[in-house]
Amino acid sequence: LISILFLGTAQVLADPDPISRGPWSPKSFTITNPAMDSSDQRIFVTVPDLENQHVDVWDPEYWLTDRSFPLISYAHGLNNDAAEDYNTLFDALASWGFVTIAHHACKSGCSDDYTSLWWDPPGFGHYYKQQLLAIDFALDELPGSYGINLDVSGGVGIAGHSMGGQSALFASSYDNITATKVPITAAVFHHAFSHEFPAPQVPFLSFTGEQDFVAPPWMSRSIFNATRGARNTVRSKGHANKVSAGHLENQDWENAGWVGDWYNPLVPQFTAAWFKVHLERKTHEFGVDWEELIYGDGPSAMCSGGNGVMEECDMRDGRMADLVLIDWWESLSEEDKKLLIAGASGALLFVVLVVSLGCCCGRKAKRDGGARGGGGAGAMHRVQMV
């Protein structure tokens, strides 16, 4: 037991230091939405404090008091407290310019809609609807009643932990991405617990860990694989299985009582990077190469040591392949494709598509390592443009 604890501690200590926080200090407050489940109708809000910057930023843009920020809706896990268990994560996201809302409803399951799913805790079958309600309420209330300017030009982001990860999965699948006043366009799942695996309809990043005995890595891999063969589905996706990570690596607990469940201070930066690239459409900001953190192959990249030792890390950059033209082409029936290809214009379109896919989407890198400690036996690193 001592040797196991020593091994787990060594792997945690071997992780790189997190990147510096962004220019803003966080500010938090609570609002109440009477439409939420009666179990608890409060919503915890964390925003960038425009009056308080904790680093020197000389760009005048960051001093604008009317600056707007993208919105992320976060769903807590079973028996988690939205206002206490994820403060470090929310504060970091605020520092990089995100507004995060986290509802308190359904802490132990929803009261008003007690729909339950097989193998899951009771009362969470429609838990994702609370996340959708929170988004619409925040879109109305934050700008008007609290003076928080929201930038929803790129949509809204959605995320969650454990049962909240399932909530974010369901909210980003099916037709739910357009169920809110502003569509959901990017998602992050922190150790999602689920036995149902719909294909997400937005770019998503799924975190898991070899020490997660609550939502084991096969759940994250099942989410990742759910998009295979699905029509009109997302191509940009990530699956990050960290060797030393336990179920609570995104929470504010340094040690939850079993091996591997230490807080991982690297989670916020990779969560922010995913939303910077896929929600804000920004590759660089605050001196940070967000694209490199997700899709790169340098030492700061998630799959190349930036998140410590990984058992499996699979990042698919499908931004080029997510073009409307290609989505339109794949939505056609086989009969329609044959008719187009048979004609002169159809043949030309086919050639253009093939050439475009070959030129733009042909990069693929895959590495398999030696011993696990240095990128080891069984470890996989793949960054792929699809």
What is the per-residue pLDDT for 252?
A: 82
pLDDT at 154 over 50: yes
Q: How far apart are the first and last CA of the chain?
A: 44
Q: What are 318-366's pLDDT values in tens digits?
A: 886 654 544 554 566 777 756 765 653 454 445 444 444 444 443 333 3
Query: What's the pLDDT at 375?
Result: 37
Q: Which residue has the tokens 């507004």?
A: 99
Q: What is the pLDDT of residues 237-295, one digit of tens each?
A: 999 999 989 999 998 864 444 445 578 999 999 999 999 999 999 999 988 999 999 99
What backbone torsions phi and psi does residue 160 show, to the nearest 5 degrees? 180, 165
Residue 46 has pLDDT above 80, yes or no: yes
Q: What's the confidence (pLDDT) of residue 233?
A: 63
**CA gap 196, 347 in Å, rounded:** 41
Q: Give the pLDDT mean for 46-59.
A: 71
* Distance between CA atoms of residues 98 and 285, nearest Å: 13
For 120, how many CA atoms within 13 A lie in the half-sphere containing its CB?
28
pLDDT digits (tens, 9 = 90+) for 67-82: 899 999 999 999 999 9
